[in-house]
Amino acid sequence: MLCGFNYMGDCEATLPVMEDEEKLIAAAQQIVKALEKKQNLTHDARKILADLGSQLSSITKLSENKHEKLFGETEDTVEKFSELEEQLNIVQNKVMSWEVDQSVIWDCGPEYADDYLRSVDEARKLIERLESLNVDKDSKEDELLCRAHEVMQIAMNRLEEEFRHLLVHNKQPFEPEHLSFRSSEDDEGSIVSFGDDSVEDVVQRDSMSRRSEEYVVELVHPDVIPDLRCIANLMFNSNYGRECSQTFISVRKDALDDFLFILEVKKLSIENVMKMEWNSLNSKIRRWIRCMKIFVCVYLASEKWLSDQIFGDLDSVSSVCFAESSKASILHLLKFAEAVAIGSHQPEKLIRILDMYEVLSDLIPDIDAMYSDDAGLCVRTKCQDILESLADCARTTFLEFENAVASSISTNPFPGGGIHPLTRYVMNYMKTLTDYSKILNELLKDNEQEDLVAISPEMTPDREEDNSNTSCYISPLAQHFRTFTSMLECNLDDKSKLYKDESLGHLFLMNNIHYMAEKVKNSHDLRTILGDDWIRKHNWRFQQHAMNYERATWSSILSLLRDEGLQNPGSNSISKTLLKERLHSFYLAFDEAYKSQTGWSIPDCQLREDLRISISLKVIQAYRTFIGRHTNHISDKYIKYSADDLENFLLDLFEGSPRSLHGSHRK
């Protein structure tokens, strides 16, 4: 529909001088002239009459000037007044005809809507002309002005209804492809509670892009945008802008509520959020992250575009209408983030807090651009406040994680000496945090400056001669990661002391430190942060525990295969009795070690195989040498196992399933 109108030409206002006023002035002048002719008047009386005559002349001139102002050089004032009255009558008839009909004007066709807009604009022009003349109260002109205002009020009410109708009935369905996440959300991983005995990947980051590109959709059918813009311009030009903007704000608020319903966003109080169980809160946070990205990058971008299309010709009106229609919902979404930020600081929340911080930080430039003026100040301020709250929460939760690692206490030894859940949790937690290394370094640095820390190369067996100190940069995250691993090792050392068997304690530490070293070695990000020196140091440590295990378990057993103490008293000959007893003791010790250590666990296949080979080389070599050296002093019936038997038995160790060799004999 065309928005231009053929407005009526400018008309000179034609307001006649009132006849009663003219007659009164003329009569007064005649009385003054008659009195002046009297012969017996005093000097003072004649002076008073002269002054009165002058005043009446002045009044006459003022009346004539007023007449000239209203009509210019037009003499037929009655005819001009009638012309204006007729114009108002025509406009009034058109406006009132639609009030009787009650049809929706814009549903009847563009020609009707265009004609209605022209008529209303004519009434506006007529009102402006009449108001510019400062007409007398209760005059015919004043009555005409009042009638024009009444017609304009009726027309503005109708345009407000038509404006609402166009917005509501031309709303486009909002189901962009971005909403497809709802069907796949349940398939994604989650974060379990700290120290939970769970699978390897105890922490997992949602797979999502850091930024959603702006994607504008048409919230209202594009064909009616010109009509909405024309109505808005006419209502604002007629001093009915408040009614127009309030209608827009009301309709778009409802549309936005519908959109949030589509996204399944529930309105939750801060108290409700803080009382949520972690699993439920975790799900809500993941949904919030996706909703915020869609809400800002798609919905708000589209809403801002719609507002600009309708109110773009009206200075700051577009920004105000956009802010007022949308700020309640975005502040509600931000309130959820605020509730999460002021809640408890369990370690499992940190990943989600960082996700929220990252998303909000990325979206703030877009939010600031859309809410750039005073109307959007509260939104901009709230975003910054909540971003700072999330940053504080992330820092506190990160530091709480350190404390949680240090204070994780066990009263019972971990069965089998395998990899403790705490070790898995901490190392996988650290691996996941590397995705947020940039954010964490920003959040953890002191006084907004990165400090250079003097560190010495970590001592390893092959680098003990290199003890010179060097100054190099170590990031805040790297410092904390080293603290994490140190605290974890101290904690593991305490847990190893819960084992009654010293050998199992060393096996436990070997397993866990080996797991830590492999986790760092196989993660590019962890390796970059902690460094190769850290890996070499921990490789050396788990190897030391492996050697300590072998010594604690097999040294005493292998000592039974030595010749010391086998000689007969007073001679160097071997005592067969002592030899049989020594061999019997070896078998008992081996059987006991087999029975217990088949139930012990080395989860890493390569580490398990390496330790078996190391044990086998020592045990089989010692056993073969002992049997070979004393083959002439002992009968075969006392040899319970062959060397091959022992070698096969050693292959059963560390599988986590206890076995027994009781009653087994060599065939």
Which pLDDT value is given to residue 175?
65
Among residues 490, 496, 498, 500, the alpha carbon closest in space to that of 509 is found at 496
Among residues 495, 423, 406, 488, the alpha carbon closest in space to that of 200 is found at 423
Instruction: Give residues with Cβ within 8 angstroms of 208, minimum separation 6.
Output: 289, 290, 293
Q: Which residue has the tokens 């504080």?
A: 392
Give residue 228's identity as a one-letter amino acid code: L
- Greatest CA span in the chain, whole angstroms? 187
Which pLDDT value is given to residue 25?
61
Nearest-angstrom CA–CA distance, 409 and 413: 11
Does position 401 have pLDDT exceeding 80, yes or no?
yes
Task: Give the tens place of pLDDT for each residue, 458-486.
Answer: 433 443 334 444 446 788 999 999 999 99
Taken in order 306, 312, 313, 316, the sign of the CA dihedral is positive
Does position 543 have pLDDT exceeding 70, yes or no?
yes
Residue 625 to residues 247, 262, 588: CA-CA distances in angstroms?
A: 100, 80, 19
pTM of the model: 0.75
Which pLDDT value is given to residue 106?
93
Structure tokens at 651: 């292959």
- Supply the mean pLDDT for the chain: 81
SS3 state at 583: helix
Q: How confident is the model at residue 244 (pLDDT cuts 50, 70, 90)?
A: very high
Does position 607 have pLDDT exceeding 70, yes or no?
yes
Which pLDDT value is given to residue 70?
47
Residue range 375-380: average pLDDT?
A: 93
Which pLDDT value is given to residue 311?
94
Q: How many CA atoms lie within 13 A of 65 on its CB side?
A: 6
Nearest-angstrom CA–CA distance, 586 and 596: 15
* Second CATH level (architecture) for the domain 222-390: Up-down Bundle (1.20)
Instruction: Tell me the H-state helices in 497-575.
Output: 502-521, 524-530, 532-558
Nearest-angstrom CA–CA distance, 228 and 163: 6
Which pLDDT value is given to residue 659?
85
Does position 45 have pLDDT exceeding 90, yes or no?
no
Which pLDDT value is given to residue 89?
87
Nearest-angstrom CA–CA distance, 295 and 328: 13
One-letter-per-residue 3-state SS of 455-481: ECCCCCHHHCCCCCCEEEECCHHHHHH
Q: Which residue has the tokens 């196989």?
A: 522
Which pLDDT value is given to residue 348?
85
Give the phi and the psi of residue 454 in degrees, each rounded to 5. Answer: -80, 120
Structure tokens at 498: 């819960």
Does position 138 have pLDDT exceeding 50, yes or no?
yes
Residue 578's CB is within 10 A of a number of other CB atoms, namely 13
Does position 1 have pLDDT exceeding 80, yes or no?
no
Does position 364 have pLDDT exceeding 60, yes or no?
yes
Q: How confident is the model at residue 32 (pLDDT cuts 50, 70, 90)?
A: low
Nearest-angstrom CA–CA distance, 248 and 312: 14
Nearest-angstrom CA–CA distance, 115 and 108: 12
Taken in order 20, 25, 28, 33, the sign of the CA dihedral is negative
Which pLDDT value is given to residue 603?
96
SS3 state at 152: helix
Taken in order 182, 185, 186, 190, the sign of the CA dihedral is negative
408-421 exposure pattern, b = at least 16 Cβ within 10 A, e = fewer: beeeebbebbbbbb
- Cα distance from N-terminal residue to C-terminal residue, the chain: 105
Task: Give the tens place of pLDDT for each residue, 52-99.
Answer: 655 555 565 455 555 444 444 444 556 566 777 888 888 888 888 888
Q: How confident is the model at residue 519 (pLDDT cuts 50, 70, 90)?
A: very high
Contact (CB, 8 A) for 357 and 398: no
Give residue 80's identity as a one-letter amino acid code: K
Which pLDDT value is given to residue 406?
85
Contact (CB, 8 A) for 553 and 503: yes
Which pLDDT value is given to residue 46?
55
Ranges for all domains in the chain classified under CATH 1.20.1280.170: 222-390
CB under 8 A, 24+ apart: contacts of 369-378: 370/300, 370/301, 370/304, 370/322, 371/319, 371/323, 371/327, 372/319, 373/316, 373/319, 373/320, 373/323, 375/316, 375/319, 375/320, 375/323, 375/324, 376/319, 376/323, 376/327, 378/327, 378/331
DSSP letters for 365-415: HHHHHHT-SGGGHHHHHHHHHHHHHHHHHHHHHHHHHHHHHHH---SSPPG
Which pLDDT value is given to residue 315?
80
Q: What is the CATH number of domain 561-666?
A: 1.20.1280
Task: Give the tens place of pLDDT for each residue, 194-212.
Answer: 555 443 444 455 544 444 4
Does position 388 have pLDDT exceeding 90, yes or no?
yes
